[in-house]
Amino acid sequence: MSRDDSKRSNSIEKRHQTRLGGREESALSVSDIPDGMRPAPKKPSGRNPGPKRGTNVFLTGGTGFVGDLLIRKYLERTDCNLWVLSRPVGGVPANERILDRIDPREHHRIRILEGDLALAIDEDADDSEFSQGFTDTPGKEPFDPYMEMMEVVDEVFHNASYLGLRQDAGERQKCMDVNFEGTKRLINLMSTFKQEVRALFYTSTAFVHGRITEPDEFGEDDALTNGWLNPYEESKWKAEELIRNAGYPYRIFRPGMIAREPGVDILSSHTMYGVADVLESGYKSDRTSQSHGPIHIRVKGIADAAHNIILRSELVDMIFDIRASSHEMNHIYNTLNATNTRLEDVLYSILYNLNPKMTYEFVPDLDQSQGLNHMEALLERAVYPLYGGYLFKKSPEFRMNNVIEALGKDYLTDRITKIDRRLLTALMEDYFRTKRSI
Ligand SMILES: NC(=O)c1ccc[n+]([C@@H]2O[C@H](COP(=O)([O-])OP(=O)(O)OC[C@H]3O[C@@H](n4cnc5c(N)ncnc54)[C@H](OP(=O)(O)O)[C@@H]3O)[C@@H](O)[C@H]2O)c1
Range with the poorest average pLDDT among 69-78, 107-116, 308-317, 345-354: 107-116
pLDDT at 225: 66
CA count, 13 A, side-chain hemisphere, 103: 7
Which residue segments constitute the domains of the chain, with CATH numbers given?
3-254 (3.40.50.720), 271-307+340-395+419-437 (3.90.25)
Could you tell me which residue, 287 or 333, shows the higher pLDDT? 333
Q: Is 110 helix (H, G, I), strand (E, B) or coil?
A: strand
With a cut of 70, say whether residue 143 has pLDDT above it.
no
Share of the chain above pLDDT 70, in %: 79
405: buried, middle or exposed (CB in 10 Å: 19+, 13-18, 0-12)?
A: middle
Measured CA to CA, the distance from residue 80 to residue 109 in angstroms comes to 7
With a cut of 80, say whether residue 274 has pLDDT above it.
yes
First to last CA, the chain: 56
pLDDT confidence bin for 252, thresholds 50/70/90: very high
Evaluate: CB of 341 within 6 angstroms of ligand 1.
no
With a cut of 50, say whether residue 144 has pLDDT above it.
yes
Evaluate: CB of 178 within 6 angstroms of ligand 1.
yes
Stretch (H or E) spanning 430: helix 421-437
Q: How far is the CA of 305 from the centre of ligand 1 (A)?
A: 25
Averaged pLDDT of the chain:
82
pLDDT at 60: 97
Q: What are phi and psi of 49, to 5 degrees?
A: -85, 10
Measured CA to CA, the distance from residue 420 to residue 349 in angstroms comes to 10
With a cut of 60, say whether residue 29 has pLDDT above it.
no
Measured CA to CA, the distance from residue 318 to residue 332 in angstroms comes to 13
Q: Answer whether 85's CB lies under 8 Å from 182's CB.
A: no
With a cut of 70, say whether residue 356 has pLDDT above it.
yes
Q: For residue 242, what are the contacts with CB-CB under 8 A and spacing of at least 6?
A: 180, 183, 184, 187
Evaluate: CB of 179 within 6 angstroms of ligand 1.
no
Q: How far is the CA of 62 from the centre of ligand 1 (A)?
A: 8
pLDDT at 224: 67
DSSP conformation letters of 364-420: S---GGG---HHHHHIIIIIHHHHHHHHSPPPPEEP-HHHHHHH-TTHHHHHS----
Evaluate: CB of 20 within 6 angstroms of ligand 1.
no
